[in-house]
Chain A
Amino acid sequence: MSAREVIADVLLTLAACTVLASSVGILVMRNVYQKLHYVTPAAIVAPLLTGLAILVQSGFTENSAETWLALAFVMTGGPFLSHATIRAARIRETGRGADE
């Protein structure tokens, strides 16, 4: 087993642990706002670790470029979706947004 494979496996393990912990957090937290905090690690940290693992394993190839493209969409879209979800939850609770 080469050093490259060991580093990739360590990164993948961290990514899988992050996703598992996030999903447990989503399950056990009580309200929407608390649950939403646990989406962020699954949507930002885990894709970053996975992308790094593939980059370490494959190097700069077409596959790793497509991987980073997909994961970049997830990482940049996550905060926007979280913000929109919090806004929707607040409007459903209070009938108005934070800026009104």
Chain B
Amino acid sequence: MTGFLIAAIAMLAAVLPCGIVAVRGSLMAAVVAYQAVSAIIVIVLVLLAEGFRRPGEFELPVLLAVLLFGSGLVFVRFLERWL
């Protein structure tokens, strides 16, 4: 197991506290946890692609990073105005 896979597993463990906040916290606290998780997951996907040496999988974190940024802004805007 390479250092990249170990780092990916450690970062996946960091999703757990954010998940607790998302489930048990207020709505805005859950949004903050969601933003942290989205950033962590992009890093984890990069690490997994490098760790398993699969060049084709490097496109997934690129797409996810773009989509999560747009969706995060839309989500926050909805929370600000209507939810």
Contact = CB atoms under 8 A, between A and B. Distances in A.
Interface SS of chain A: helix, strand, loop or mixed?
Answer: helix
Interface string A45-79: 01100100110011000110011011101100110
A90 B40 CA distance: 26
Interface SS of chain B: helix, strand, loop or mixed?
Answer: helix
Contacts, number: 163
Interface residues of B, number: 47
Contacts of B26: 32
Interface string A22-39: 111011000110011011
List the 3 closest A-B pairs by CB distance, nearest first: A73-B65, A77-B69, A88-B80
